[in-house]
C-alpha cells in the first residue's frame, strides 16, 4: 500500500496541511490588515466582496479537484480495495486503512462543499462552515484514535502527538462558530495546521527513515526526544505565522497615522478598560 506505512504516505498529507496552513495564514493576515485600513478610507463593501470571492475560489478551486482525487486514489491505486468493502471469499474486510483515509477525505470534501454553498448562496448562516471544518478535523482525529491498536510504543506515541494538533484544531474551529472573525483564533488554527503538516513529515522520517539507520521503536529516550521535537515543530509553526503577521501589518500601515489608528482600533479590539 503506497498511502500509509510508507514515507510518501506521510509526506503527502504533510505537504497538503503545510500548504493549507500557509495559505490560511496569508489569507487571514491579509484580511486583518485590510480591515484595519478600512477605517482610514476604503469602503467596507469592497473588502467584503473580495473576501467572498477569495473564499469561493479557495473552496471551489482547491477541494473539489483534490478530495475526489484523493478518494479515488485511495480506492484504485496500487493495492486499494477498488470499492470492495468485504472479501466474502476470505471473510475479512478489504483494506480498511484505505477506506478510513477515503472517509477522512470525504469529510474535508463535505466541509469544502458546504463552505462553497454558504459563500455563493444565502441558504444558511456562514458560521456553518467552521462547524463543518470542526467536524472534519474531529472525524480525522476520531478515526486515527482507533487506528493505533497493537502498534509499537513509539509509533503510537508519534500518532498521539499528531492527535493533539488535530483535536486542538477541531476545538478552535468550533470556538470560531461563536467568535467568528477573531484573529487570535484564526492564527491559532493556522499554527496548528502547519504543526500538523510538519509533524506528518516528522512521522515519515521517524517511522520510515528514507536514509540512515532505523529508529528503535521501543526505546524510551527516543520517545522523550520525539516529545521535545514536537515542541520545536510548534515553535517553528508559530515562527512562520509570526513572520506573516509582522510583514502584512507593517507594510500596510503608514507609520505617521499609527497613533490615530491605535486609539480607534483599541476600542474595538480589547476590553482592557471595560471591567
Touching its own copies, residues 173-202 (CB under 8 A): 177-184, 187-188
C-alpha to C-alpha distance for 86 and 93, rounded to whole angstroms: 5
Mutual angle of helices 220-252 and 153-178, in 10-degree steps:
30
CA 139 vs CA 55, 95, 128, 167: distances in Å? 23, 19, 16, 9
Contacts of 200 (CB under 8 A, 6+ apart): 10, 11, 13, 14, 17, 162
Minimum CB distance to its own copies smaller for 22 or for 117? 117
Regarding 1 and contact with its own copies (CB under 8 A), the answer is no
Phi first, then psi: what are they for 111, rounded to 5°?
A: -60, -45
Count of chain residues binding its own copies (CB under 8 A): 75
Q: Which three cell numbers stand for residue 251?
A: 507594510
Grid cell 503527502 — which residue? 12
Regarding 147 and contact with its own copies (CB under 8 A), the answer is yes
Q: Which of 5, 42, 44, 218: binder of its own copies (CB under 8 A)? A: 44
**Nearest distance in Å: CB 132, its own copies:** 8
Identify residues 230-259 at the interface with its own copies (CB under 8 A): 230-232, 234-235, 238, 242, 245-246, 249-250, 253, 258
Regarding 53 and contact with its own copies (CB under 8 A), the answer is no
Minimum CB distance to its own copies smaller for 186 or for 200? 186
Grid cell 510518501 — which residue? 8
Minimum CB distance to its own copies smaller for 10 or for 119? 119
Stretch of 15-23, 55-63, 199-207, 265-273 lying at the interface with its own copies (CB under 8 A): 265-273
Identify residues 202-231 at the interface with its own copies (CB under 8 A): 220-225, 227-228, 230-231
C-alpha to C-alpha distance for 83 and 135, rounded to whole angstroms: 24
Amino acid at each position: 500500500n503506497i498511502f500509509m506505512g510508507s514515507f510518501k504516505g506521510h509526506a503527502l498529507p504533510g505537504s497538503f496541511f503545510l500548504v493549507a496552513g500557509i495559505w490560511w495564514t496569508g489569507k487571514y493576515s491579509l484580511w486583518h490588515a485590510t480591515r484595519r485600513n478600512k477605517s482610514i478610507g476604503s469602503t467596507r463593501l469592497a473588502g467584503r466582496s473580495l473576501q467572498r470571492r477569495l473564499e469561493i475560489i479557495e473552496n471551489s478551486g482547491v477541494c473539489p479537484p483534490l478530495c475526489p482525487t484523493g478518494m479515488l486514489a485511495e480506492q484504485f491505486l496500487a493495492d486499494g480495495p477498488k470499492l470492495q468493502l468485504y472479501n466474502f471469499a476470505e471473510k475479512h474486510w478489504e483494506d480498511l486503512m484505505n477506506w478510513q483515509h477515503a472517509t477522512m477525505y470525504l469529510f474535508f470534501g463535505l466541509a469544502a462543499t458546504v463552505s462553497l454553498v454558504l459563500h455563493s448562496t444565502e441558504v444558511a448562516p456562514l458560521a456553518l462552515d467552521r462547524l463543518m471544518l470542526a467536524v472534519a478535523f474531529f472525524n480525522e482525529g476520531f478515526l486515527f484514535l482507533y487506528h493505533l491498536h497493537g502498534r509499537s510504543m513509539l509509533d503510537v506515541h508519534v500518532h498521539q502527538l499528531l492527535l493533539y494538533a488535530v483535536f486542538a484544531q477541531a476545538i478552535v474551529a468550533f470556538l470560531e462558530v461563536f467568535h467568528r472573525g477573531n484573529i487570535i483564533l484564526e492564527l491559532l488554527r493556522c499554527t496548528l495546521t502547519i504543526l500538523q503538516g510538519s509533524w506528518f513529515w516528522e512521522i515519515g522520517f521517524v517511522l520510515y527513515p528514507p536514509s540512515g539507520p532505523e529508529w528503535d521503536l521501543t526505546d524510551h529516550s527516543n520517545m522523550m526526544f520525539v516529545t521535545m521535537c514536537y515542541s520545536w515543530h510548534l515553535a517553528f509553526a508559530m515562527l512562520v505565522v509570526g513572520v506573516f503577521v509582522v510583514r502584512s501589518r507593517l507594510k500596510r500601515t503608514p507609520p505617521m497615522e499609527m497613533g490615530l489608528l491605535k486609539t480607534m482600533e483599541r476600542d474595538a479590539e480589547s476590553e482592557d478598560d471595560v471591567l
